[in-house]
A and B are shown apart, each in its own frame.
Chain A
Amino acid sequence: MNHASRRGPAALGSLLFLLAAATAAAGTAPPESPSTGPAYQVDVEYSKLPNGLKVVLSRDTTAPVAVVAVYYNIGFRIEPKDRTGFAHLFEHMMFQGSENLGKMEFIKLVNSNGGTLNGSTRFDFTNYFEVVPSHALEAALWAEADRMKGLAITGENLKNQQEVVKNEVRVNVLNQPYGGFPWLDMPQYANTNWFNSHNFYGDLKDLDSATLEDVSKFFKTFYAPNNAALVVVGDFIPRRPGPGSTSTSRPCRPRSSLRSPTSRSRGRRRRSARARTTSSRPARRSRSATTPPGATRRSTTPWA
């Protein structure tokens, strides 16, 4: 996508406006200090559905586009111990078809409406999102709800995605000079707690060991509406919330006992060396510090 070319005239208009505003301000008020002045405000409407799904709506009608983002509170930090890489493998299964959509139909639905989509697995969550023209928002919400309620967990899909994921690991890590450096390497050296220090992409043998039962159990455990957040950003009319809530569909039920995140270790002082293949240039990385929990939590040090 090339936004620059499409935005040319509008951007110029904004620039002229900004220049004019700056000129007007110069004569009347002292320059704004970075530590004062107005702050950007985001429109936020927050609620929870009866099934526990967190719903955030943020309206922005600048362009007739909407984003649907569904975040599940499961990242690779808390994936099962004998199944390294499973959170990511499972992410792939979310694209293999659901209760009412066959294989590839989700992707076709979004793409044929002029939208795009993706998903990713991170330390503490797995996300799925669609960017669609506003008129296709409801279809995107319906499709997300459909896969939250039920997945096509079949042996064929699992085998297929095990091979896809293993190949992804080969392409990005095993056959790549400095592959996985530093994001995948460093946590394995810096941390002692398994949850922080295992191979997040997955050992190939663990990926091979995954069973349909594992997939089913993981889905039931972590992909419950009360372990997820749905966010809609963009040009929409706030009227009806999303997955699991529409009167036309069977409700998506919450899970009664959710597994709570496991304690996460701090880093430890250590210096390691290891040999790697290819490339004639040695790489090094110095890392300082395990930082405090996310910026919005508790103490003031995260902000500093």
Chain B
Amino acid sequence: MGLIDEIMLQGKDSRLYQALVQKNGLTGDVNGGINELGNMFNINGPVLWDVSLIHDKDKSDEQILKVFDAEIEKIRTTPVDQATLDRALVKKRSWFYDKMEQFNGFGKADMLASLALFDDDPKKINQIEAEFRKVTPALIQKTAQTYLAPENRTILVIVPKGDAKESPAGAPAKSGK
């Protein structure tokens, strides 16, 4: 999910940003990632990959989900090309180097501590780049099919109190899309 996150969500070249912000103007920004309180390394066990956005009242849930779903479907069904994968890898490596220098070395300490606590092997920090480099378009697709499946998804809509009645999303507990 590390490179899928880069392809789909991180940065302005990401597919969800391009689709929801640039092409369709449905929101001003798209946020999220793996592990809301950290990153894919400082977590032990299953964790959510989440995408969140804030939109104006004149944009409907249905409009947004339609664009969102199309991008999810695309990564599940169409293998990414090498250029896309290469760009994701550059972004991930850049993130990693940035983390190594974060706050006078705290970023590095955070990763080493997590690898020691959860894997009993902090030396794995030196395998991270190599592991990302092994990822293929086929593995991206297989991973997307496994984890970005509709039955593995939750949608949370938060509506201001005064708008609850007028918004279709205000209806209690709609069944999942």
Chain A interfacial positions (CB closer than 8 Å to B): 33-36, 39-42, 44, 46, 54, 56, 58, 60, 63, 65-69, 71, 73, 77, 122-125, 127, 129, 131, 178, 181-183, 185-187, 189-190, 228-229, 231-234, 261, 264-297, 300-304
By beta carbon, the residue of chain B nearest A190 is B154
> Is B113 in contact with A71, judged by CB distance below 8 angstroms?
yes
Additional A-B contact list (12), CB under 8 Å, known A40-B96, A276-B161: A44-B123, A54-B116, A186-B36, A189-B154, A269-B154, A271-B173, A273-B173, A284-B55, A285-B32, A288-B72, A301-B146, A303-B135
> Is B118 in contact with A124, judged by CB distance below 8 angstroms?
yes
> Is B158 in contact with A283, judged by CB distance below 8 angstroms?
yes
The contact of A44 among B43, B125, B135, B155, by CB within 8 Å, is: B125
Min CB–CB distance A169 → chain B (angstroms): 16
By beta carbon, the residue of chain A nearest B4 is A304
Q: Which residues of B contact A267 (CB under 8 A)?
A: 46, 48, 152-154
**B114 an interface residue at 8 Å Cβ cutoff?**
yes
Q: Which residues of A contact B149 (CB under 8 A)?
A: 289
The contact of B47 among A231, A275, A290, by CB within 8 Å, is: A290
The contact of A294 among B4, B49, B106, B118, by CB within 8 Å, is: B118
> Is B123 in contact with A294, judged by CB distance below 8 angstroms?
no
> Is B129 in contact with A69, judged by CB distance below 8 angstroms?
no
> Is A264 in contact with B53, judged by CB distance below 8 angstroms?
no
> Is B43 in contact with A123, judged by CB distance below 8 angstroms?
yes
> Is A58 in contact with B108, judged by CB distance below 8 angstroms?
yes
By beta carbon, the residue of chain A nearest B40 is A295
> Is B158 in contact with A274, judged by CB distance below 8 angstroms?
yes
Q: Which residues of A contact B130 (CB under 8 A)?
A: 39
The contact of B157 among A69, A282, A300, by CB within 8 Å, is: A282
> Is B110 in contact with A285, judged by CB distance below 8 angstroms?
no
**B42 an interface residue at 8 Å Cβ cutoff?**
yes
Q: Which residues of A contact B50 (CB under 8 A)?
A: 182, 186, 285, 287-288
> Is B49 in contact with A65, judged by CB distance below 8 angstroms?
no
**A36 vs B65: C-alpha distance in the bound complex, in angstroms?**
37
By beta carbon, the residue of chain B nearest A301 is B143
